[in-house]
């Protein structure tokens, strides 16, 4: 999608406390006036007929517009999930294994069922509606190896006006029957899907390599050729999530300097590359990520739940590569990015660091959009941006209401909300100026 046109006359107006970011906040700055934080309490956000933000103002918009009064609630850009699996909702909270066993025991059996197009469509509908019900309006999504799963993802997103980045998963080895493709078939499927869906509405195609062990060198080379043929394509894969995985990759690709180098050697690192996890990296890896413009999608609930390790966000900042926030459902346990932000705080605390609400929420909104090269379209409450929005209650129930009552200052209030809130706090989700989810009363 090209950059949004200038916003036109308003047709809808939403009143709330507005929070977004004009730039990346500095690490560790928890002040209420931290650079990059834009706080506009009790403002009106105006949306035009094309679904773009027309204006933000304190003044009443006057007659002639559809009014949505959310006074006392918090309005943010819709969350951007940097890495999530549409077929893995059924394996959420599966017991007892680390990454590689978890794939064999839970993930691969669940994904095999998506060979059936009707099953894939039903699962995708559930997944996309769940994203919206958890405050996420944009996501980089792994469907399955089956072409029909990618078709279902793009068709479902188009029907909802959602921005998605996704593509058929590539796996031609070390996977069960029913989940392997071939180099030739994968290339045909990808070429057809790119022609039909990439740039159609708000759909963007991502060359989607499951991870290095499940693709032969020939398939990785084919994926790299697709990226070189069209620099507007995204690429997404998994990277250095687990130490057993790291050793496996080393045995399969002994000529590569590192796990990251396997992808680099195949031509898969560029400014639209999304690498999920990125826990077990060295300084050379991080420097290469920065040089190519690739970024890491941090998956904190998944990393903690599977015991994979602790992501070093500060090292990423020092190296100069971006970090987005991701749920990684179903290894991740929460589709809502707020519990993932709270888990990210815990991951940093275990390393002696303190993640501010500003850095975490920036990664889930503007930072995630910029990392996906979509900052011209989404991620802020700027006129001309697409009105992908989420409206939240500050508190639900007596405990977090009391925490809000005694909070001292804006950051403390926002941090408490980020840490205690989840999808039950979500009042409404808007996609391209249309309300797509509204909480129903209990």
Task: Say if residues 180 and 169 touch (Cβ distance below 8 Å).
Answer: no
Q: What is the DSSP string of 31-65?
A: -TT-TTEEEEEEEEEEEETTSBEEEEESS---SSS
pTM for the predicted model, two decimal places: 0.96
Look up tokens 């100069």; give the residue. 320
The predicted model gives 371-379 an average pLDDT of: 98
Interval 242-274: pLDDT, tens: 999 999 999 999 999 999 999 999 999 999 999
The pLDDT, as a whole number, for residue 442 is 60
Tell me the percentage of the chain whose pLDDT exceeds 90. Answer: 91
Structure-token pair, residue 426: 């979500």
Structure-token pair, residue 185: 């078939």
CATH architecture, domain 79-335: Alpha-Beta Barrel (3.20)
C-alpha 287/C-alpha 181 separation (Å) is 33
The H-or-E segment that residue 71 falls in is strand 66-77
> Using 50, 70 and 90 to split pLDDT, how confident is the model at 4?
low
> Using 50, 70 and 90 to split pLDDT, how confident is the model at 3?
very low
Look up tokens 């294994």; give the residue. 97
Interval 390-427: pLDDT, tens: 999 999 999 999 999 999 999 999 999 999 999 999 99
The pLDDT, as a whole number, for residue 311 is 98
The pLDDT, as a whole number, for residue 221 is 98
Taking the domains of the chain in order of start, what are their residue ranges? 10-77+383-438, 79-335
Q: Is the pLDDT of residue 337 over 80?
A: yes
Strand partners, 53: 47
Interval 114-132: pLDDT, tens: 999 999 999 999 999 999 9
Interval 79-104: pLDDT, tens: 999 999 999 998 888 887 787 787 88
Domain 10-77+383-438 sits in CATH 2.30.40.10: yes
The pLDDT, as a whole number, for residue 2 is 44
């Amino acid at each position: 999608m090209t950059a949004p046109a200038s916003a036109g006359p308003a047709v809808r107006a939403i009143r709330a406390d507005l929070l977004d970011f004009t730039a990346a906040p500095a690490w560790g700055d928890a002040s209420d006036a931290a650079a990059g934080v834009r706080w506009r309490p009790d403002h009106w956000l105006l949306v035009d007929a094309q679904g773009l933000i027309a204006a933000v103002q304190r003044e009443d918009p006057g007659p002639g517009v559809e009014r949505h009064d959310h006074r006392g609630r918090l309005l943010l850009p819709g969350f951007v999930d940097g890495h999530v699996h549409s077929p893995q909702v059924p394996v959420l909270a599966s017991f007892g294994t680390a990454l590689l066993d978890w794939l064999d025991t839970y993930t691969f059996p669940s994904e095999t069922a998506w060979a059936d197009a009707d099953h894939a469509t039903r699962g995708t509908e559930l997944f996309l509606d769940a994203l919206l019900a958890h405050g996420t309006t944009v996501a980089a999504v792994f469907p399955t190896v089956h072409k029909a799963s990618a078709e279902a993802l793009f068709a479902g997103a188009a029907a909802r006006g959602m921005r998605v980045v996704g593509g058929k998963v590539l796996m031609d080895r070390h996977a069960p029957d029913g989940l392997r493709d071939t180099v030739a078939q994968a290339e045909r499927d990808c070429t057809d899907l790119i022609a039909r869906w990439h740039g159609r509405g708000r759909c963007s195609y991502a060359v989607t390599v499951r991870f290095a062990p499940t693709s032969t060198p020939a398939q990785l080379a084919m994926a790299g050729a697709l990226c070189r043929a069209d620099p507007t394509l995204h690429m997404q894969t998994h990277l250095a999530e687990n130490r057993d995985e790291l050793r496996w990759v080393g045995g399969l690709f002994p000529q590569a300097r590192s796990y990251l180098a396997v992808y680099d050697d195949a031509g898969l690192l560029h400014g639209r590359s999304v690498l999920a996890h990125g826990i077990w990296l060295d300084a050379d890896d991080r420097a290469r990520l920065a040089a190519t413009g690739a970024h890491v999608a941090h998956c904190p609930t998944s990393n903690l739940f599977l015991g994979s390790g602790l992501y070093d966000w500060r090292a990423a900042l020092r190296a100069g590569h971006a970090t987005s926030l991701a749920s990684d459902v179903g290894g991740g346990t929460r589709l809502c990015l707020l519990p993932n932000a709270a888990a990210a705080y815990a991951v940093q605390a275990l390393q002696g660091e303190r993640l501010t609400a500003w850095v975490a929420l920036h990664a889930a909104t503007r930072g995630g959009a910029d990392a996906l090269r979509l900052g011209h379209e989404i991620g802020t409450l700027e006129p001309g941006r697409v009105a992908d929005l989420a409206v939240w209650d500050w508190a639900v129930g007596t405990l977090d209401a009391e925490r809000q009552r005694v909070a001292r200052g804006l950051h403390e209030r926002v941090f408490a909300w980020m840490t205690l809130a989840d999808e039950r706090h979500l009042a409404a989700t808007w996609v391209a100026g249309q309300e797509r989810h509204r909480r129903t009363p209990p």
